[in-house]
Amino acid sequence: MSTTEREWSVARGARALLDAESSATARGSIEAEWDGLDLGTAYAIQDEVLQRRVQRGEVLTGVKLGLTSRAKQRQMGVDAPSVAWLTDAMVLPAGDPVPRSRLIHPRAEPEIAFVMRDRLAGPGVTATSAMAAVDRVHAGVEIIDSRYSGFKFTLADAVADNNSSGVYVTGSVGLRPEDLDLALEACLLEVDGQVVSSATGAAVQGHPAEALAFAANTLAERDAAIEAGWIVLTGGMTDAVPVAPGARVAAHFTHLGSISLSGG
Ligand code: OOG
Ligand code: MG
């Protein structure tokens, strides 16, 4: 075992990522220094970070999927989805600018968000049983912010870093899942009035309900479930776009309305 292997621990990983976040300073890949960092340990770091957030008063409010679309997987060079936590401190109220002083290198991505009516616990959750637990569907824009320099990370790095959580906005339109076809729900992503990307819900694992089922089944392996009332961000539908100071970002959905925000 090398010296660095002996030095790294779940606690040290959690501390390093929280320090990078609170000082808004990027750091290098943890896996590059921690030889053999596996996914189970990465999720343990993610859980430790959550525990520290809760100890300082944040409330666990849901989960966010990462890398559920081919667009995102290709952009980040990681070919598997993963699950991370959302807290109340990550909510960006509609109309507020991107809080750039708290962030390192914010990027925006449009997402389909679910508000859960029922608890959803794996294993064995299917897209159909997942959708039956959903109360409302909303448009969302997530402002991700990796703690790693240049957004350069492995799957384990990203999982430890809570899937690059930053802040997120949800739209005011909330539809019942049976009132729209989410595979066909389209989104145009605009920066400064120019369309930079577009996708439909099918970009997310064929249907965002598949991402929801994946989240429930993956959480079951960690003895956790998706609780009633939680919000679930199902993952970026398109590439994430950098948010420059003063930029205007807008996501227009067919039935779920529009979300517009200023780069701050
Ligand atoms: C990691 C995952 C981000 C998503 O929706 O794919 C994520 C990243 O791209 O930095 O939230
Ligand atoms: Mg996201």
pLDDT per residue over 226-261, tens digit each? 999 999 999 999 999 999 999 999 999 999 999 999
The answer to whether the pTM exceeds 0.90 is yes
pLDDT at 5 over 60: no
Say if ligand 1 is within 6 A of residue 67 CB: yes
Structural domains in the chain (count)? 1
Residue of 162, 163, 232 best suited for mutating to test ligand 1, as the one with most atoms within 8 Å of CB: 163
Listed residues: CB within 5 A of ion ligand 2 = 142, 236
Q: What are the pLDDT digits (tens) for 187-206?
A: 999 999 999 999 999 999 99
Mean pLDDT to the nearest integer, 34-51: 97
* Confidence label for 7 from pLDDT (cuts 50, 70 and 90): confident
- Residue 120 CB neighbour total at 10 angstroms: 27
Say if ligand 1 is within 6 A of residue 145 CB: no
Segments forming the whole domain that contains residue 54: 3-262
pLDDT at 30 over 60: yes
% of the chain exceeding 90 in pLDDT = 97
The one-letter code for the residue type at 144 is I
The closest alpha carbon to 234, from 213, 251, 262, 252, belongs to 213
Burial class (CB in 10 A: 0-12, 13-18, 19+), 223: exposed
Q: What was the ipTM of the complex prediction?
A: 0.99
What is the rounded distance in angstroms from the CA atom of residue 234 to the CA atom of residue 214?
Answer: 10
Q: Whose CA is nearest to atom 5 of ligand 1?
A: 235
Say if ligand 1 is within 6 A of residue 208 CB: no
What is the rounded distance in angstroms from the CA atom of residue 157 to the CA atom of residue 161?
Answer: 6
Q: Strands 231-233 and 60-66: what pairing?
A: parallel
- Assign residue 179 the CATH number of its domain: 3.90.850.10
2 CA to middle of ligand 1, Å?
31
